[in-house]
């Protein structure tokens, strides 16, 4: 026989019971058993639980369904009146039955941020659930006899026996320019000790990626300000370029430098910290503030102390914030730092939900986890506003193993990777980019004409130099050609070295590469190459601004410009010591 639970604020009289039982008897001709409970917190009215549906005809529920302003006004009137008990009794006496029907269930298990729910047969994957005490959860497991969900709020607030209702929505975050310059958690709550902001629009964290017909070619460069990247593995607006390498090899430094380089270029930035130490994130935010980059940057922070569910939704929340700008026709750069910790958080939740483990104990849908996130980055067509979202996901490897499960997954999703090598980093070559394993599948389409001209042979020359350098270590006699290649390679390597938080404008990059590739540094000692380049850049700013302006506006390097650079190098060498 079907069981129906009736929960009321006080004992119901016989007439009320008769009406309720007659209402449900019509719905269940086969018969039903009624169980009555009393819960004084409902204030007035009753609630009926009929399988997966519950009928909320309580005074408390009616207040909840009112608009916020009306509810606040009602509570204020009740709180400010004399004789609060009498006012409540009067309100209950005048109360009209206005019930809402929703899909519901009961918590059977709660622990480790996971809840098992009996019921909720109509719930959808990823739907936002709400417990009776206001705690929010996301449905992730749709099982035959119940639902598995992850808790977004305080884990200790959920307990067995709590009622859960479906909301018909998914988790949303505030979006818009109010988030620029702010640090928020994955739910959009500010955590930077600044005044709150007005939320004018919410956007769901999960959204379909733009259709193929809505996309345009990636052919506009997004300059990182890092010479080694802009010359050999260029990034275009709308591209997804992976930054991969062992810990402490400069992955985050490249992402931060790229954000700093967008100052004044009309590109908004979103930095998503996933499972990072709070002190690390604080240091990055301070660097962005010092360089004036927070004015166009939003930071979504889920630290290592946060629960796995919050770390899981962090990149999707950041992507929703970036999407709002993209669909408004703006260019956005988003950094996911890093997806390795994101995958670990998802694995933790999946194992707690009793999902079958696969390779390296990750669940079977781990590829879909990142593909549905990264596919949302795109360059939109002019008909869709022409905005773009450029994604720089970061993945950490262990002992340089790029054939591990998560690295290979993300490599196959992205449009190229920048591989950072520990040996190069420890040898003082920073950024420690491995030329052979780094690639951009957009290539020259994301470079200006001047950069294409000066960097055409760079990758090949650098690869040959590093191979020759290995053989030269044996001390055998080398012919003049090999010695010249080694000398040139050493100077090229020095030119590509770059200090952290010091991005270069594209015109300075072009000129430095032009000088290097034309072998104008032969008479400069290798140890003095970086000092020469720094001084020469400043010399150009002061004495030859027309050269820089020509490259900046024409985006090309002509014969006349080349002759002017030759002249400038000759004059500067006379003063260089």
Which residues are known catalytic residues? 441
State the alpha helices, DSSP H only, in 333-404.
Answer: 339-352, 366-374
Residue 462 in tokens: 């650098």
DSSP string, 496-529: H---TT----HHHHHHHHHHHHTTTTTTS-GGGH
Nearest Cα residue to 24 out of 3, 46, 52, 45: 3
Neighbouring C-beta atoms of residue 401, cutoff 10 Å: 10
Rounded Cα–Cα distance for residues 181 and 176 (Å): 11
- Integer-rounded Cα radius of gyration of the chain: 31
CA dihedral of 113, 135, 191, 65, whole degrees rounded to 10:
160
Neighbouring C-beta atoms of residue 220, cutoff 10 Å: 18
Residue 442 in tokens: 């957009």
Note the maximum CA span of the chain: 108
Neighbouring C-beta atoms of residue 3, cutoff 10 Å: 11
SS3 assignment, position 337: strand
Query: Alpha carbon of 283 to those of 14, 120, 338, 486: distances in Å?
Result: 67, 44, 16, 39
SS3 assignment, position 458: helix
Neighbouring C-beta atoms of residue 74, cutoff 10 Å: 14
Angle at 116 between CA 112 and CA 118, to 5 degrees: 165
Residue 422 in tokens: 């520990």
Neighbouring C-beta atoms of residue 324, cutoff 10 Å: 21
DSSP string, 279-348: HHHHHHHHHHHHTT-GGGEEEEEEETTS-HHHHHHHHHHHHHHHHHHHHTT-EEEEEEE-HHHHHHHHHH
Beta-strand pair 100-111/136-142? unpaired
Which backbone phi and psi does 328 adopt, to 5 degrees?
-90, 5
Cα 238 to chain centroid, rounded: 15
Determine which helix (DSSP H) or strand (DSSP E) holds 174, and give its type and residue range: strand 172-174
Q: Per DSSP, what are the bridge partners of residue 436?
A: none
Which backbone phi and psi does 524 adopt, to 5 degrees?
-105, 130
Residue 2 and residue 51 in contact, taking contact as beta carbons nearer than 8 Å: yes
State the alpha helices, DSSP H only, in 81-167.
Answer: 84-93
Residue 122 in tokens: 């109509």
Angle at 66 between CA 161 and CA 199, to 5 degrees: 95
Residue 358 and residue 215 in contact, taking contact as beta carbons nearer than 8 Å: no
Which backbone phi and psi does 506 adopt, to 5 degrees?
-65, -35
Rounded Cα–Cα distance for residues 450 and 557 (Å): 5
SS3 assignment, position 533: helix
């Amino acid at each position: 026989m079907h069981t129906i639970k009736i929960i009321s604020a006080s004992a119901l009289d016989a007439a009320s019971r008769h009406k309720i039982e007659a209402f449900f008897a019509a719905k269940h001709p086969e018969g039903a058993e009624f169980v009555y409970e009393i819960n004084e917190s409902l204030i007035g009215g009753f609630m009926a639980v009929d399988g997966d549906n519950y009928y909320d005809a309580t005074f408390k529920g009616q207040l909840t369904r009112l608009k916020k302003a009306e509810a606040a006004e009602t509570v204020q009137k009740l709180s400010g009146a004399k004789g609060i008990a009498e006012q409540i009794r009067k309100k209950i006496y005048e109360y009209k039955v206005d019930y809402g029907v929703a899909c519901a269930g009961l918590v059977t298990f709660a622990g480790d941020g996971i809840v098992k729910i009996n019921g909720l047969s109509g719930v959808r994957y990823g739907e936002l659930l709400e417990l009776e005490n206001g705690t929010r959860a996301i449905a992730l497991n749709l099982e035959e006899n119940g639902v598995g969900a992850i808790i977004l709020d305080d884990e200790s607030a959920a307990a067995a026996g709590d009622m859960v209702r479906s909301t018909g929505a998914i988790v949303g975050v505030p979006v818009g320019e109010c988030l620029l310059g702010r640090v928020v958690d994955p739910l959009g709550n500010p955590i930077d000790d600044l005044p709150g902001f007005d939320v004018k629009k919410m956007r769901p964290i999960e959204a379909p990626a733009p259709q193929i017909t809505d996309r345009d070619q990636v052919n506009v460069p997004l300059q990182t300000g890092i010479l080694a990247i802009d010359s050999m593995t260029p990034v275009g607006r709308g591209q997804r370029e992976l930054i991969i390498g062992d810990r402490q090899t400069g992955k985050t430094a490249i992402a931060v430098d790229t954000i700093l380089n967008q100052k004044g270029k009309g590109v908004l930035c979103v930095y998503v910290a996933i499972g990072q130490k709070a002190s690390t994130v604080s240091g990055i935010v301070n660097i962005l503030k010092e360089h004036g980059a927070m004015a166009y940057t939003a930071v979504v922070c889920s630290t290592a102390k946060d629960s796995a569910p919050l770390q899981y939704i962090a990149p999707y929340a950041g992507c929703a914030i970036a999407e709002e700008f993209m669909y408004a026709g703006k260019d956005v750069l988003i950094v996911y730092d890093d997806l390795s910790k994101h995958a670990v958080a998802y694995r933790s939740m999946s194992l707690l939900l009793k999902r079958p483990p696969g390779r390296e104990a990750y669940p079977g849908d781990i590829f879909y986890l990142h593909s549905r996130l990264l596919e949302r980055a795109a360059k939109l067509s002019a008909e869709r506003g022409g905005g773009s979202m450029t994604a720089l996901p970061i993945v950490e490897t262990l002992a340089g193993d790029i054939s591990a499960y998560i690295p290979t997954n993300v490599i196959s999703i992205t449009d190229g990777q920048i591989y950072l090598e520990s040996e190069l980093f420890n040898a003082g070559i920073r950024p420690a980019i491995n030329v052979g394993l780094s690639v951009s599948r957009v290539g020259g389409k994301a470079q200006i004409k001047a950069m294409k001209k000066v960097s055409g042979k760079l990758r090949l020359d650098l690869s040959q130099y590093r191979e020759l350098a290995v053989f030269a270590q044996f001390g055998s006699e080398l012919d003049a050609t090999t010695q010249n290649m080694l000398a040139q390679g050493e100077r090229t390597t020095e030119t590509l070295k770059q200090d952290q938080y010091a991005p270069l404008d594209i015109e300075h990059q072009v000129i430095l590469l032009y000088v290097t590739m034309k072998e104008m540094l032969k008479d400069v000692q290798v140890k003095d190459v970086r000092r020469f380049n720094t001084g020469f850049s400043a010399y150009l700013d002061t004495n030859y601004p027309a050269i820089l302006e020509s490259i900046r506006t024409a985006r090309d390097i002509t014969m006349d410009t080349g002759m002017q650079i030759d002249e400038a190098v000759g004059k500067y060498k006379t003063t260089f010591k």
